[in-house]
A and B are shown apart, each in its own frame.
Chain A
Amino acid sequence: MNRPIRTMAVAILALFLALLVNATYLQYVSAGELNDNPRNARVIEASFSRPRGPIVVARDAVAESVRSDDQFKYQRVYRQPLRYAHVTGYFSFDSATGIERTQNDVLSGDDPRLFVTRLVDLVNNSSPKGGLVQLTLDPAAQNAAYDGMRALGENVQGAVVALDPGSGKVLAMVSMPTYDPNLLASHDRDAVNKAYLQLYRDPAQPLLNRAIQTRLPPGSTFKAITAAAALEKGGYADAQSLVPGGSSFQLPQSTAVIGNGGRDCGTGKITMTQALENSCNTSFLALADELGQAKLRAQAEAFGFNSDYLDDLQPQAQSVFPERMDRPQTAMSGIGQFDVSATPLQMAMVAAGIANGGVVMKPYVVDEVLSPDLDVLDRTEPSEFSRAVSPATADQLTTMLVAVVDEGTGSPAAIPGVEVAGKTGTAENCKDCKNYAWFISFAPANDPQVAVAVMIQNADIPPDDIAGGALGGPIAKAVMEAVLQQ
């Protein structure tokens, strides 16, 4: 009978191996997925009950856990809630957003890089501590952006993004209206639900991070991209090349005629610099028609349209340069109209790419990840997102954008003693709705330290007064000054 007993032993060994493999699968392979399950009350409740790591800007924690006397032992506190709400996000029972969500593993201490720390905590039988997340934000730039937006009134809707062109670091990210994440991180579940519903139902959508989640027609700021395409692929040599001018443009295959709002765009041919200085619709409609949609799309996509690039904050909207346009639509896309739409971050990347000699850096918000003992576990290395234009083209574009601020529509952003490059935009999405104001800029033009995009969707001023230069220019200026003064 020994042979069948041996056979049985082998069969039972197989069964037990299956148990071991399955347990490994459950507790190791699929553990992350199960821990991320939104219905997993265990993980959420426990993460409330331990010291979650802080989120730090410069040297100050903008989000940290402090001891509390209730059942959860720790309370998440946001120190400058309104200024940093959309970046930190909030951490509540049912959900988390912003950095609280994307860096949850580090903050909660579950990240594999914190394994040794966890092991030590386990041996000491102390509750595991979370790691620290250091952001790239510059408090001076963030304050300038926030204060500038607040100055436009209670009901302002819009966003500001500032980037370090050389690295892709996000220096400022403000979205208005904002909210107080402390209300959503409270341990009083009913109060949280009430606050959340109120924010959720608010027509101004305060929970929305407009810097990365709202895309709108970029209007005339897109002319910088059209100009880039003309220099790169359209046979135009430099800023002094002559482009079509004129006071009106008859859209091909259409009866519509588009003018320049009274700005001087010559009669026949004008220089590309003049066309950009005065934001000449006629010139860029003609250029876009001449280049065709393929070249325009290639140029827009080189700057980041139709793709994702910011890993540190989710979700985000992709900026769109449409497919399959007819001729009049293609012409309109050249001035940032029709279905072209961009997020403020995207337009900041356009400015930063031109500033950085044509190299668009991948934007990032998380600078460093540190253990609770402040050992650096990980540091984000700047990486190239794309080479959008050649250095020569970037030079020519910079020259023209400097002219826009010095002599054209971008004058409100001028900083005495500093060469500033910029471009205004005032776009409309439909006949009866309000205009959107855009402004993109970077400074100093010869050695760019900061690139900014300002988008104002709505403000307490008469609709016709909304214009990119007048509204966005001063905010961009304040942000650039804040960075340059350091």
Chain B
Amino acid sequence: MSARVNQPSALRGFVHRPRRGAELFLLVLALAVGIGAYAAVGIGVQGTVPADLLGYGGWLALLIIGAHVVVRFTAPYADPVLLPLVAALNGLGLAVIHRLDLAAGKDPGEGFSRQQLTWMTLGVLLFAATLVLLRDYRVLQRFTYTFGLAAIVLLLMPMLPVIGKDINGARIWIHVGPFSFQPGEIAKVLLVLAFAGYLVRHRDALALAGRRVLFVDLPRGRDLGPILVMWLVSLGILVFQRDLGSSLLFFGLFVVMLYVATERPGWLLVGGALFAAGGWIAYRLFSHVALRVDIWRHPFEYYGGEGVHDRGRQTVETMFGMAWGGLLGRGFGNGQPWRISYAESDFIVGAIGEELGLTAVMAVIVCYGLIVERGLRTALICRDDFGKLVATGLASVFALQVFVVVGGVTRLIPLTGLTTPFLSYGGSSLVANWVIVALLLRISDQARRPAPVLAPAGPASADEEETQVVRLG
């Protein structure tokens, strides 16, 4: 490592160790967070340690340790920090949802937390299945267009008459029998894979052709096609499904991946300009977008009134709750997070801020930041372009989602409906995020695995060759 001539060779020179023991240790800490939070909810709200603490803790431990065992056998060199971070967030989320169930007077058997635990089980199973079945992520590159098509079909499904359903003004759900889920969450993963496959194939054309205007390389007109299509798809989601958050997420994801694939900041300019134009058009044309912005700017004018003048209630109650939580929080059972509608899903950060304080909110944000950082690190050390792009895409979509939802809830930016990864109640989101982590672990396993030792081809050293006498004549 002494001669740092350039980064890639330096990284290649470094041999990663599996670090599974470290992962196990961190997982025990994560379990302490999840089970401890569950116990604290029982003590704070009901006054006693929950009767099912052993059963609950056992189940959680089984899932987490099970995931660890799968990683140990199928991806021994995978990043050791990702799984513990995810386990801690998921455990905390379960406890907070359980606390909100208790506040709503729900029976433990039928509350959101029990359903969420079921979804988590499914998520971990899919996580394991992904790792077991997908031994080399590079095969995914073969299905670029299949994934793209599937993503678009999934995005369109809520628009279908029978299975699609409007919930809270956004048409992003589908219902099949007793199950309902948000196909957009699955589409998110497929889109990352499709973009990565597409960009790996076309990056040279997108990167090299173009003209230079004011120190910035702008892309060629005909190469603008894909970005314009993505822009229109995003606008379509916004207009027809009224889903501001997903629209922003998909477009942002595409622009970021385009930039990383081509290494040309010009795409960021084009993307930024398109985003600004789209945002402005949406603000001027669609009343629900304009209302969101207005509530963001003057939340108190939309609080406690009639009809539309109570649409800021969520935001204002979240502000009150988080302010009331202060640095240390009220403690489980001493806050009033039920005042925030949908505190168990989009607004869960508000509930955490109220009862666990700024300290916990910061811890959660830092956990998210670390997940993104581990994802990007995986992208940096990954040996092939497809892997780099998938890892960057997954990390970026995760980062964007966290920023959009946490920023929206804490009134940094206008509110857009998105789930908080791993914390919020919501099956589709939880399952999709577990799959994202499985993919990141798979990529990092292959990236960190020591390069295969190649058999020496040809003579190893001139010194070892025998001296030959060449006669001349």
Choose one: B322, B328, B361, B402; the contact of A122 (CB below 8 Å): B328
Contact A125 B406 (CB under 8 A): no
Q: Which of B29-37, B162-170, B373-381, B450-458 is the contact stretch? A: B373-381
Choose one: A5, A16, A32; the contact of B376 (CB below 8 Å): A5
For B407, the chain A residues whose CB sits under 8 A away are 15, 18-19, 22
Is A324 interfacial (CB-CB < 8 Å)? no
Contact A27 B323 (CB under 8 A): yes
Q: Which of B54-62, B240-248, B364-372 is the contact stretch? A: B364-372
Contact B327 A28 (CB under 8 A): yes
> Which residues in window 460-478 of A have CB below 8 A to B?
none
Is A258 interfacial (CB-CB < 8 Å)? no
Is A2 interfacial (CB-CB < 8 Å)? yes
> Which residues in window 109-158 of B have CB below 8 A to A?
none
Contact B336 A45 (CB under 8 A): yes
Contact A46 B336 (CB under 8 A): yes
* A4/B324 contact (C-beta < 8 A), A13-B369, A22-B407, A42-B339 known: no
Contact B358 A3 (CB under 8 A): no
Q: How far is the CA of A33 from the CA of B319 in the complex (A)?
A: 11
Q: How far is the CA of A82 from the CA of B380 in the complex (A)?
A: 75
For B310, the chain A residues whose CB sits under 8 A away are none
Contact B358 A43 (CB under 8 A): no
Contact A42 B336 (CB under 8 A): yes
Contact A27 B392 (CB under 8 A): no
For B339, the chain A residues whose CB sits under 8 A away are 41-42
Is A9 interfacial (CB-CB < 8 Å)? yes
Is A431 interfacial (CB-CB < 8 Å)? no
Q: Majority SS of interface residues in chain A?
A: helix
B373 nearest in chain A by CB position: A9
Contact B380 A43 (CB under 8 A): no
> Which residues in window 391-411 of B have CB below 8 A to A?
392, 395-396, 399, 402-403, 406-407, 410-411
Q: How far is the CA of A4 from the CA of B257 in the complex (A)?
A: 10
Q: How far is the CA of A396 from the CA of B181 in the complex (A)?
A: 89
Q: Which of B94-102, B258-266, B438-446 is the contact stretch? A: B258-266
Contact B399 A23 (CB under 8 A): no
Is A59 interfacial (CB-CB < 8 Å)? no
* A43/B328 contact (C-beta < 8 A), A2-B380, A27-B353 known: no
In the complex, what's the smallest C-beta–C-beta distance from A160 to chain B, in angstroms?
A: 40
How many A residues touch the partner, as a band?
Answer: 35 or more
In the complex, what's the smallest C-beta–C-beta distance from B210 to chain A, in angstroms?
A: 16
Per-residue CB contact flags for chain B residues 407-424 toward chain A (1 = under 8 Å, else 0) read 100111000000000000
Contact A8 B361 (CB under 8 A): no
Is B326 interfacial (CB-CB < 8 Å)? yes
Q: How far is the CA of A19 from the CA of B44 in the complex (A)?
A: 28
Contact B368 A31 (CB under 8 A): no
* A3/B263 contact (C-beta < 8 A), A26-B323, A34-B320, A42-B324 known: yes
A49 nearest in chain B by CB position: B334
> Which residues in window 1-54 of A have CB below 8 A to B?
1-6, 8-9, 12-13, 15-16, 18-20, 22-24, 26-28, 30-35, 37, 39-43, 45-46
For B412, the chain A residues whose CB sits under 8 A away are 18-19, 22
Q: How far is the CA of A3 from the CA of B324 in the complex (A)?
A: 43
Contact A28 B304 (CB under 8 A): no
Q: How far is the CA of A416 from the CA of B250 in the complex (A)?
A: 91
Is A127 interfacial (CB-CB < 8 Å)? yes
Is A118 interfacial (CB-CB < 8 Å)? yes
Is B467 interfacial (CB-CB < 8 Å)? no
Q: How far is the CA of A442 from the CA of B403 in the complex (A)?
A: 67
* A39/B303 contact (C-beta < 8 A), A2-B380, A27-B353, A119-B328 known: yes
In the complex, what's the smallest C-beta–C-beta distance from A115 to chain B, in angstroms?
A: 9
A27 nearest in chain B by CB position: B358
A15 nearest in chain B by CB position: B403
Contact A31 B326 (CB under 8 A): yes
For B228, the chain A residues whose CB sits under 8 A away are none
A36 nearest in chain B by CB position: B323
Contact B376 A8 (CB under 8 A): yes
B304 nearest in chain A by CB position: A39
Contact B320 A20 (CB under 8 A): no
In the complex, what's the smallest C-beta–C-beta distance from A98 to chain B, in angstroms?
A: 24
For A35, the chain B residues whose CB sits under 8 A away are 320, 323-324
Q: Majority SS of interface residues in chain B?
A: helix
For A16, the chain B residues whose CB sits under 8 A away are 365, 368-369, 372, 399, 402-403
Per-residue CB contact flags for chain B residues 303-333 toward chain A (1 = under 8 Å, else 0) read 1100000000000110111111111101100
In the complex, what's the smallest C-beta–C-beta distance from B269 to chain A, in angstroms?
A: 14
Q: How far is the CA of A43 from the CA of B399 in the complex (A)?
A: 33
Q: How far is the CA of A20 from the CA of B407 in the complex (A)?
A: 10
Contact B320 A42 (CB under 8 A): yes
Choose one: A3, A19, A34, A41; the contact of B319 (CB below 8 Å): A34
In the complex, what's the smallest C-beta–C-beta distance from A120 to chain B, in angstroms?
A: 12
Residue of A20, A26, A37, A39 with most partner-chain B CB within 10 A: A26
In the complex, what's the smallest C-beta–C-beta distance from B233 to chain A, in angstroms?
A: 22
Contact B358 A23 (CB under 8 A): yes
Contact A1 B389 (CB under 8 A): yes
Contact B261 A1 (CB under 8 A): yes
Contact A23 B361 (CB under 8 A): yes
Is B53 interfacial (CB-CB < 8 Å)? no
Choose one: A2, A20, A45; the contact of B7 (CB below 8 Å): A2
For A122, the chain B residues whose CB sits under 8 A away are 328, 331
Q: How far is the CA of A12 from the CA of B376 in the complex (A)?
A: 10
B321 nearest in chain A by CB position: A42
Q: How far is the CA of A12 from the CA of B365 in the complex (A)?
A: 12
Q: How far is the CA of A46 from the CA of B334 in the complex (A)?
A: 8
Contact A30 B369 (CB under 8 A): no
* A9/B376 contact (C-beta < 8 A), A23-B358, A23-B365 known: yes
Is B43 interfacial (CB-CB < 8 Å)? yes
Contact B373 A27 (CB under 8 A): no
B316 nearest in chain A by CB position: A39
Choose one: B317, B324, B358; the contact of A24 (CB below 8 Å): B358
In the complex, what's the smallest C-beta–C-beta distance from B374 to chain A, in angstroms?
A: 11
Contact B304 A19 (CB under 8 A): no
Is B197 interfacial (CB-CB < 8 Å)? no
Choose one: B325, B327, B392; the contact of A5 (CB below 8 Å): B392
For B317, the chain A residues whose CB sits under 8 A away are 42
In the complex, what's the smallest C-beta–C-beta distance from B65 to chain A, in angstroms?
A: 30
Contact B361 A5 (CB under 8 A): no
For B379, the chain A residues whose CB sits under 8 A away are 1, 5
> Which 7 residue pairs of A and B lie closest in terms of their CB atoms, listed nearest first?
A34-B323, A31-B323, A27-B358, A22-B412, A4-B260, A16-B369, A12-B399
- Provide a sorted-by-A list of 14 A–B residue pairs whose CB atoms are within 8 angstroms: A1-B392, A5-B380, A6-B380, A19-B403, A22-B407, A22-B411, A22-B412, A23-B361, A27-B361, A28-B358, A39-B316, A42-B336, A42-B339, A119-B328
Q: A23-B358, A26-B319, A31-B322 are in contact. List 8 more A-B contacts (CB 8 A).
A: A1-B260, A2-B380, A8-B259, A8-B260, A9-B376, A22-B407, A23-B362, A118-B328
A residues bordering B, Cβ < 8 Å?
A: 1-6, 8-9, 12-13, 15-16, 18-20, 22-24, 26-28, 30-35, 37, 39-43, 45-46, 118-119, 122, 125, 127
